[in-house]
Structure 1
């Protein structure tokens, strides 16, 4: 073979090395370059490495968020106790949205007023009319989603120090049952937080409504049971005792032995007392407000009956009774009746005083007796027969205070029920319905 040809062959451009190396450190030849120009499918490890770590973090965060929202959506509506629902919500919402201030407000019966029932942070208002809400917050009540607002001196939130806030109405069955507010002390983008708050509000609205419905069912069931007991007392116990009394009267008239007549007379007297007690029990079970009798007249009627049937003198000062709607009036009456009857039965006192006072937009009812007070061994909330009072005060948003013994004394018990009031167009006081009943 010609040596010159061989030499030329070695220096041929097709065999000349390129002045760069590949990743293995070997020279890259044109043929190798063309082959390496192809895109080979990456291995599984390379695919995992190439995925953006930020995307993984975002997906993980979104997954955790969905799980949390699912948990709220499942657990909140399943609880039928309003207090439990509110406690769960105010504990979980700050973790979900990272808010500094979380406020839950419930609407009254006709959704004209909102009352703060739970809060974390430093929200100032306790109760506000919807018409008095700042326009940017009131707007949330008209929407089916959350809104985000940059707050300022002109556009304030529920907390003075808040710089941004997200607000969403609580809805159920097409009605506004409340409002949830999340506010931050440092400005930030709230796009994600508003989406989360909307999901929370959907579940919380249903849960609040369920609790209201269950409360109404329970209350109606209690009323139905009272009527059933009253009916049984009248039809069975009352009728039976009346028959026994008549038979004793007949035996007394037909008996000639004086000693036997004395014994029959004694028994007849006891039956008469029991029959009177049964009739009073029937009155206590059946008495209530209707559209024809005012709260004042009903209280006066019970006071006079208690005075006439026992050694307890009941006095009342009710000149300052605010205007109340039928529902709230009936609940207040049930509280007053329960407190009066408890004092009559348990206090061993001789006087019960009922008072009504309106001061500083607050209506306070008081039922005070001069009895033995609540004994230390009976200081449980349900020991003095006040379970019904506690439950009803809670449902209408009233503050209940039980003082025993009386201040600066060693006897007596005082029950105070306080509710917020406002002035109507005529200048008269009317109760602010904080019961959030629908």
Structure 2
């Protein structure tokens, strides 16, 4: 029975009961209406309205649940589905909504994969240009300044050239650091653990944060895409700690379990509170969806932020792992 006919029948039952009561009840209506008769009629009307409201609430309860879920659903948090229940056209509507979420999640994952692939390609191109073009140009400038300083007999000029050399050398180091952040060559050459070690060491050197590492070396084999997602999530999390957390220390752990690999980053800063998720966190959620992982962001025991990325091993095993170079482990 469709939703229309269900509502129609509910109202027909109420009105039929009221009609039967008027036909066969030993109650008559006088002209003019007496007070006791008015009380009976108003009481009957109130009973009909209450009964009708209760029946409609029961019949439309699944639609209310569907409305609440539609207003809160987030396709970056997959698996949010409604249990199919109710009668009439309600189950069909809920199933259609669940199917729509399935299609949206698949399409979002596909588009995110293309976007992130293009983003990584662009990162590599920029890193290559920084290293090959800007880096080499600064190296040439540094060599020219060094030769000019050796040839100059003026102590004041030599001091200025030495200052220019230091500025150029610092700029060259910054270009190399940016190129390294855009394209982590150590990840491709030595693997995830070495890349995370280098990342945390660089963070400690540049920010003064106390970084405590617990990186297991005997992890299961991970494909390149999964390693890249783990690295980027760690990179974004540590960047957020350095910029916004006002923390003194941060713990970075990479552990392997029977069915998953878990990356966890906890700081002792101000925490996330009720802050709105920005582009960085949304980007981490998209990367997690790309490999079927689960990203959880909450409060750390010490009051800071706790970022946890859980990668199921059934997603990263199989053919992907079989083609990975064992030397990278």
TM range (shorter): 0.5 to 0.7
State whether residues 85 and 91 of structure 2, in contact with CA within 8 Å, keep that contact through their aligned partners in structure 1: no
For residues 416-431 of structure 1, the aligned pairs below 5 Å read: 416-419=307-310, 430=313
Are 1:339 and 2:237 an aligned pair?
Answer: yes
- Cα deviation, 1:97-122, whole Å, max 9, x if unaligned, reads 999x99xxxxxxxxxxxx972144xx
Unaligned runs of 5+ in 1: 1-53, 62-93, 103-114, 121-180, 408-412, 422-429, 434-438
Residue 170 of structure 2 is aligned to residue 273 of structure 1: yes
Q: How far apart in 2 are the matches of 1:204 and 1:368?
A: 32
Higher percent of residues as helix: 2
Measured after TM superposition, the shift of residue 403 of structure 1 is: 5.3
Partner residue, 1:415: 306
- Conservation of the 8 A alpha-carbon contact between 2:212 and 2:251: yes
Show CA shifts across 1:195-224 (max 9, x none): 667766665544332222111122112212
Per-residue displacement from partner, 1:80-131 (whole Å, max 9, x unpaired)?
xxxxxxxxxxxxxx549999x99xxxxxxxxxxxx972144xxxxxxxxxxx
**1:328 and 2:226 aligned:** yes
State the SS of the aligned residue for 1:238.
Answer: helix
Measured after TM superposition, the shift of residue 183 of structure 1 is 2.8
RMSD between aligned residues: 4.8
**1:331-354 deviation per Cα after TM superposition (whole angstroms, max 9, x unaligned):** 122101222344456667664431
Kindly tell me: are residues 419 and 389 of structure 1, through their superposed partners in 2, closer, same or farther at Cα, counting changes over 3 Å? same
1:87 is matched with none
Any idea what SS the aligned residue of 1:118 has? coil
1:162-182 deviations in Å (ceiling 9; x for gaps): xxxxxxxxxxxxxxxxxxx51
Q: Greater share of strand residues, 1 or 2?
A: 1
Q: Which residue in 1 is equivalent to 2:278?
A: 382
Which structure has more relative contact order (CA 8 Å, sep 6+)? It is: 2
Name the CA distance, whole Å, in 1 between partners of 2:300 and 2:261: 18
User: 1:168 maps to which residue?
Assistant: none
Q: Secondary structure at the match of 2:112?
A: helix
On the 8 A contact 1:323/1:431 being kept in 2, the answer is: no
How far apart, CA to CA, are the structure 1 residues paired with 2:241 and 2:99?
A: 45
Distance 2:90 2:246 in 1: 59
| Corresponding residue for residue 392 of structure 1 | 287
**Partner of residue 33, structure 2:** none
Verify the 8 A CA contact 1:289 1:330 in the aligned structure 2.
no
TM-score by length of 1: 0.45
